[in-house]
Chains A and B, each alone.
Chain A
């Protein structure tokens, strides 16, 4: 995976570059908007990591310009800004996700992998959590290498959980993702679906667990 890193802080860039290389990315590093334009113009990248505050301008301006010119790759924004309006602005102007400074390199790597797994990416990809694996292309689920048959809806829910592992999914998020606008929905439809999926996973001996946070939502993680 070829990655463009746009970050002007030398030390942070060096540490990030090393961490990303260790995670298996081929990293090109530039430290200004001008260099980033040049790199994006000549090379073809799979994904970009963009700092917003650069010596020759605002990273958001670069992003808006390149998006307008047809840039389609996922872009992860690194920012020291954390007010809500900045976050909304970043996502509106073409950012796919953002990470607030300071960050753990593991977090950056996890977000980048999640972005590369987006459904609009042509290549199917295996998402693996503990002994549970899901191939997003052929929709085959395995627990400890053994296939686990799931209904269409259970499969949708599992993919949602695995893409957002370690983060809370609210009931509303699940309803929006799995059910159409016109579908009549029992008020406990999500609870029932989660219950069924959880029973099938534990029955098959999967290590990841779905936690219920009453009144908040659900979360999948692999803490045994």
Chain B
């Protein structure tokens, strides 16, 4: 798809169209010239015959019978030396040949009597060679006929046409090449600026300061596009700022009352009521945090372009939650390859995803059961428990917002796994749950294999 789109680039299209237009522009006039030349050659033959007949008529003394032809020396020599290529004949009214350039002219004399005066006609040669081209004229009672032995048409017009074509190609080909090169150079120049703007655009990240494209040096045709994109960027940036301010404000407005509640519960005398209220406050606090995480993920695209050491990020998240696991008498362990597993992504978001997966395991599996975390070369992150497992029918739904397994007894918010799925998707990875060998679940964030 992208390959064929690139193949049909503006440069290629322009080069091909210029080639077609210029080829037509060169061949068209050349063809017209050749046709005109052929016509001109035809009429040259005709005029030459008429001139030839005129010479005979002018030099024919009709005062005697039979009339006498007094050809000037030069002409007489030319006829004599033409080897029957040029012929003439004069006939009286009865058709009797009275003057002949040579005995070979007899068929010309016969032929001339069968056509009207002023006609061009062909006379076949007795030896079967290519026919004479002939012309009949009338002077007084006498019919005058002249003929040329071989038509020049072939040799002469061929050479004229060859000259014309050579001339066209000699001038047209360099012109063609120069035009295409200039067009491509002009476009390359314009595209270098466009490439620069594209590089500008690639460096824009959400929340980055002053996200705009520079329009200096751009061709006037492209500038309106860049300015329109800048306007759009400014609008998006304003919307992004508003969203970000909203989530920051919301974080403060939501967390403060929960903080007051938590602090107030801390001042109560110890007892089952205080413990229950503290658990409620903790749950409320987690819900607020996860709602804010969801809002933050929805509000803006996540920049996923830092090089992240997956092992380090996962270990940090797991270390944060390990005290909770120990409080629940759980074994917690992590394994990772010796060399660092690196992905392109967002370290803070990946840490949040792992935190949610481990919290999910802490919430949904019995106290005392172990939780194992693995980072593999896949790359993938695996959080393994020995809980009841997730029925196959519920495996898709539990990654949707506010979808809790109907069989669950724990009081999750229904947001944790949705956050995991969202963060995985933003990284081009997939979050899922599988059966763990030997019982329990394996929650996995898996990147597609490269290549």
Residues of A within 8 A of B (CB): 9, 11-12, 15-16, 18-19, 53, 80-85, 101-106, 166-168, 170, 211, 213-217, 219, 221, 223
Q: Which residue of A lies closest to B311 (CB)?
A: A215
Asked if B248 is an interface residue, CB under 8 A from chain A, the answer is yes
Whether, in the assembled complex, B322 has its beta carbon less than 8 Å from a beta carbon of chain A, the answer is yes
Interface size class of B (residues with CB under 8 A): 35 or more
Kindly state the separation between the CA atoms of A207 and B438 in the bound complex, as whole angstroms.
Answer: 35
Q: How far is the CB of B292 from chain A (nearest CB, A)?
A: 8
The contact sample of 28 A-B pairs, CB cut-off 8 A, is A11-B264, A12-B259, A15-B260, A15-B264, A15-B267, A19-B263, A19-B266, A19-B267, A80-B251, A80-B254, A80-B259, A81-B251, A81-B252, A82-B251, A84-B347, A84-B348, A101-B256, A101-B259, A103-B262, A104-B262, A104-B263, A167-B319, A168-B320, A170-B315, A215-B333, A216-B334, A217-B315, A217-B319
Q: Does chain A have a CB within 8 A of B364?
A: no
CB-defined contacts of A101 to chain B, threshold 8 Å: 255-256, 258-259
Contacts of A168 in B (CB 8 A): 319-320, 322-323
Closest 8 pairs between A and B when the two form their complex, measured CB to CB? A215-B334, A102-B259, A168-B319, A15-B263, A214-B333, A84-B348, A80-B255, A101-B259
- Beyond the given A102-B281, A214-B334, A215-B373, please list 19 additional residue pairs across the A-B interface where CB-CB is below 8 A: A9-B256, A11-B264, A15-B263, A15-B264, A19-B266, A80-B252, A81-B252, A82-B289, A84-B348, A102-B259, A104-B262, A213-B318, A213-B322, A215-B336, A216-B315, A217-B319, A221-B323, A221-B326, A223-B327
Secondary structure call for the B interface: helix
Interchain CA distance A154-B354 in the complex, whole Å: 33
> In this assembly, does B236 line the interface, its C-beta being within 8 Å of a C-beta of chain A?
no
A166 CA to B322 CA in the complex, in Å? 9
Residue of A whose beta carbon sits closest to that of B332: A213
CB distance from A224 to the nearest CB of B (A): 12
Contact between B326 and A223, CB atoms less than 8 A apart: yes
In the complex, the answer to whether A216 meets B264 with C-beta atoms within 8 Å is: no
Identify which of A82, A167, A215 contacts B323 (C-beta below 8 A). A167
**Contact across chains for B266 and A81 when beta carbons are under 8 A apart:** no
For B348, give the chain A residue with the smallest CB separation.
A84
Partner of A106, one of B258, B266, B335: B266
The answer for the CA separation of A9 and B348 in the assembled complex, in Å, is 29
Whole-angstrom distance between the alpha carbons of A18 and B332 in the complex? 37
Interface members, chain B 258-298 (any A CB < 8 Å): 258-264, 266-267, 281, 285, 289, 292, 296
Q: Which of B266, B320, B327, B336 is the most central at the interface, judged by chain A CB atoms within 10 Å of its CB?
A: B266
Known: A215-B334, A216-B334. A12 touches B326 (CB 8 A): no
- A1 to B316 Cα, complex, angstroms: 33
Which residues of chain B (210-264) have a CB below 8 Å from chain A?
A: 248, 251-252, 254-256, 258-264
**Which of B251, B292, B335 has a CB less than 8 Å from the CB of A215?**
B335
Interchain CA distance A137-B208 in the complex, whole Å: 48
Say yes or no: A219 contacts B259, CB within 8 Å: no
Contacts of A11 in B (CB 8 A): 260, 264
Give the Cβ gap from A170 to chain B, nearest Cβ, in Å: 6
In chain A, what residue has the closest Cβ to B207? A85
User: Is A216 a contact partner of B319 (Cβ separation < 8 A)?
Assistant: yes
Complex CA distance for A16 and B322, rounded to whole angstroms: 28
Chain B residues with CB under 8 A of A18? 267
Chain A residues with Cβ below 8 Å from B267 are 15, 18-19, 105
